[in-house]
C-alpha cells in the first residue's frame, strides 16, 4: 500500500448499491460484533475500533444501525494520523450514533482492496452494508467535520439513525444475496471485474428490471475503465484538451470513483452543451451510467438530471 496523496485507481462510488456489496460479508460472520463497539457512556473507545479482516464483517453488521466510518490509514503517513485524530473526536462527540473503524492498510491490505483504495489517507463510510466514499486525500479538519455531518444526514434519510446501545443481534440479520449477485461480489473481491460484469449481465438478462444489477454493472464497468489508470496523466490531458471527449470522460470517471460526484456530473453536462452528434450521445450515455452509480435517490442526481435536460433542449 502506497501513501501518496494522488490516486491512480478508483475508490468506491458514492453508492455502489449492487456492486461491492459489503453487506454480503455479514453472511460469513461467525462471531458477535466487536466488544469495543459497546454501549454509550463507556468513553470514546466505545465508538472507535481497530479492525482486521476477521472483525470487519461484524463491524459491517452495525451499519444497519449506525453509520460506520472506515478510516484506511498507514502508521507511516503523518496525514493519516491527523485525519484519524479528527475522526476520533467526531466519533466521541456523536455518543454512539457513529462508529469509527480504523484499518491499518499495511497490516490488512485485503480491506483496502475491497474499497479499491491504493493510497492513504482514504476514508469511506458504510450505510446498510453499502460503501460511501468520503475523502481520498488530506483535507482540513473543518471539511472532515462537514463530511461527517453530511454523512449523518444521509444515514438518517436512509433509516439509519440508531445508537450502538440499541444494536441487537436481530438488527444485523440480512438475507443472502441472489446467486448471481453473490457471484459478482466474489469476482469483484478477487479483482475479476470481467467476471463480475458477466454475472451482472446474466442477472439483467434474467431480470431486466433488476436495479441493483444495473447499478452493479455500471460500477464494474467503471472499475474496468480505470483499472490501469494514471490519474495525473488523465487530468493533465483533460486540462490541455478541454474538447477531447475521451479525456473528459476519463476524468469524470476519476471524479465519480473518488466521491466527487457533482464535479463528474458538471463536467459531462458542460461537455454535452458544446458537443453534438455521436460524441454528444456518448457523453449522455456515460452520464446516465454515472447516475446509476450514484443512485436515483441521490439529490445530486435529481439536480443533474434537470441540468442535463436544459443542456439537451
Q: What pLDDT shows up at residue 236?
A: 94
**Mean pLDDT value across the chain:** 80
pLDDT at 261 over 70: yes
Residues 304 and 187 in one domain: yes
14 three-class SS: coil
Measured CA to CA, the distance from residue 271 to residue 152 in angstroms comes to 33
Question: Over the stretch 124-182, which tens digit does the pLDDT of each residue have?
Answer: 998 887 788 888 889 999 999 999 999 998 888 878 888 886 443 333 444 677 899 88
Looking at the domain assignment, is residue 15 inside a domain?
Answer: no
Q: Grid coordinates representing 33?
A: 460484533
137 three-class SS: coil
Residues 133 and 227 in one domain: no
Per-residue pLDDT band for 189 (boundaries 50, 70, 90) equals: low
Query: How many Å from the N-terminal Cα to the C-terminal Cα in the chain?
Result: 47
Looking at the domain assignment, is residue 235 inside a domain?
Answer: yes
Residues 161 and 200 in one domain: no
Measured CA to CA, the distance from residue 163 to residue 160 in angstroms comes to 9
pLDDT more than 70, % of the chain: 81
DSSP sequence for 61-126: HGGGTS-EEEEEE-TT-HHHHHHHHHHHHHHHHHTTS-EEEEEETTT-HHHHHHTT--SSSEEEEE
Q: Domain of 213: which CATH number?
A: 1.25.40
Residues 185 and 251 in one domain: yes
Q: What pLDDT shows up at residue 123?
A: 93
Q: What pTM was estimated for this model as a whole?
A: 0.54
Amino acid at each position: 500500500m502506497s501513501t501518496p496523496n494522488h490516486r491512480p485507481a478508483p475508490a468506491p462510488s458514492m453508492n455502489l448499491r449492487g456492486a461491492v456489496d459489503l453487506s454480503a460479508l455479514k453472511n460469513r460472520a461467525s462471531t458477535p460484533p466487536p466488544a469495543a463497539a459497546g454501549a454509550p457512556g463507556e468513553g470514546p473507545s466505545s465508538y472507535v475500533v481497530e479492525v482486521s479482516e476477521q472483525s470487519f464483517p461484524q463491524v459491517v453488521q452495525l451499519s444497519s444501525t449506525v453509520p460506520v466510518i472506515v478510516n484506511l490509514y498507514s502508521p507511516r503517513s503523518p496525514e493519516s494520523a491527523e485525519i484519524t485524530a479528527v475522526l476520533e473526536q467526531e466519533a466521541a462527540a456523536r455518543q454512539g450514533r457513529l462508529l469509527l473503524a480504523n484499518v491499518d492498510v499495511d497490516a490488512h491490505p485485503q480491506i483496502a482492496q475491497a474499497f479499491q483504495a491504493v493510497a492513504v489517507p482514504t476514508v469511506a463510510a458504510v450505510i446498510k452494508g453499502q460503501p460511501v466514499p468520503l475523502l481520498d486525500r488530506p483535507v482540513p479538519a473543518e471539511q472532515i467535520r462537514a463530511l461527517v455531518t453530511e454523512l449523518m444526514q444521509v444515514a438518517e434519510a436512509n433509516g439509519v439513525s440508531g445508537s450502538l446501545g440499541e444494536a441487537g443481534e436481530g438488527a444485523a440479520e440480512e438475507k443472502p444475496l441472489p446467486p448471481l449477485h453473490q457471484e459478482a461480489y466474489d469476482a469483484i473481491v478477487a479483482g475479476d471485474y470481467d467476471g463480475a460484469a458477466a454475472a451482472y449481465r446474466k442477472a439483467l438478462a434474467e431480470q431486466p428490471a433488476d436495479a441493483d444489477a444495473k447499478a452493479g454493472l455500471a460500477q464494474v464497468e467503471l472499475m474496468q475503465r480505470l483499472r490501469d489508470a494514471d490519474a495525473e496523466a488523465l487530468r493533465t490531458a483533460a486540462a490541455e484538451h478541454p474538447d477531447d471527449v475521451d479525456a473528459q470522460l476519463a476524468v469524470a470517471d476519476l471524479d465519480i470513483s473518488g466521491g466527487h460526484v457533482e464535479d463528474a456530473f458538471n463536467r459531462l453536462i458542460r461537455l454535452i452543451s458544446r458537443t453534438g452528434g455521436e460524441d454528444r450521445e456518448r457523453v449522455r450515455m456515460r452520464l446516465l451510467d454515472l447516475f446509476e452509480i450514484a443512485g436515483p435517490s441521490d439529490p445530486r442526481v435529481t439536480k443533474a438530471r434537470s441540468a442535463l435536460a436544459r443542456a439537451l433542449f
